[in-house]
Amino acid sequence: MEAVILAAGKSTRMKSKTSKIFHNICGKPMIFYVVEALRRYKIHIVSNTQTNDTLKELFPQATIHIQKEQKGTADAVACAIDYIKEDTFIVVNADMPLIDPNDIESAYGILKSRGLDCVLLTAELDDPKGYGRIIRDNGCIRIIEEKNADENTRKIKEINSGIYIFKTESVKEALPKIERDAVSNEYYLTDIIPLLKGVEAVRVNPQHILGVNTRKQLSEVRNIMQRRIIDKFDDVTFIDSENTYINYDVEIGEDTVIYPNVHLRGKTTIGRNCIIENGSVIENSVIKDNVHIKPYCVIEESTIKNNCEIGPFAHLRPHSELSENVRIGNFVETKKVRIGRNTKASHLTYLGDATLGSDVNVGCGTITCNYDGYRKNETIIGDRVFIGSDVQLVAPVRIGNDVLIAAGTTVTKDVEDFSLAISRVPQVNKEGWVKKYRQSMEKKLKEEKKAK
Ligand code: UD1
Ligand code: CA
pLDDT tens-digit series, residues 222-247 = 999 999 999 999 999 999 999 999 99
Distance of alpha carbon 39 from alpha carbon 81, whole angstroms: 19
Question: Is 78 in contact with 175 (CB distance < 8 Å)?
Answer: yes
Look up the CATH number of domain 2-215. Answer: 3.90.550.10
Active site residue 44: no
Which ligand lies nearest to the CA atom of residue 66 in the structure?
Answer: 1
Helix (H) or strand (E) holding 174: helix 168-174
Q: Is residue 211 in contact with ligand 1, taking CB distance under 6 Å?
A: yes
Compute the distance from residue 161 Cα to the ligand 2 centre, in Å.
9
279 — phi, psi (to 5°)? 75, 5
Helix (H, G, I), strand (E, B) or coil at 9: coil
- State whether the beta carbon of 148 lies less than 6 angstroms from ligand 1: no
Q: Domain locations in the chain?
A: 2-215, 235-421
62-117: pLDDT as tens digits: 999 999 999 999 999 999 999 999 999 999 999 999 999 999 999 999 999 999 99
Annotation: CATH topology of 235-421? UDP N-Acetylglucosamine Acyltransferase; domain 1 (2.160.10)
Give residue 95 CA to ligand 2 midpoint distance, Å.
Answer: 6
CA distances, 377 to each of 151, 188, 371, 396 (Å): 72, 63, 6, 5
Q: Could you list the pLDDT tens digit for every one of the 452 residues in the chain?
A: 999 999 999 899 999 999 999 999 999 999 999 999 999 999 999 999 999 999 999 999 999 999 999 999 999 999 999 999 999 999 999 999 999 999 999 999 999 999 999 999 999 999 999 999 999 988 889 999 999 999 999 999 999 999 999 999 999 999 999 999 999 999 999 999 999 999 999 999 999 999 999 999 999 999 999 999 999 999 999 999 999 999 999 999 999 999 999 999 999 999 999 999 999 999 999 999 999 999 999 999 999 999 999 999 999 999 999 999 999 999 999 999 999 999 999 999 999 999 999 999 999 999 999 999 999 999 999 999 999 999 999 999 999 999 999 999 999 999 999 999 999 999 999 999 999 999 999 999 999 999 98
pTM of the model: 0.93
| Radius of gyration over every alpha carbon of the chain, rounded to an integer in angstroms | 33
Atom of ligand 1 nearest to the CA of 213: 35
User: What span, in angstroms and rounded, lies between the C-alpha atoms of 159 and 203?
Assistant: 9
Contact 409, 394 (CB under 8 A): no
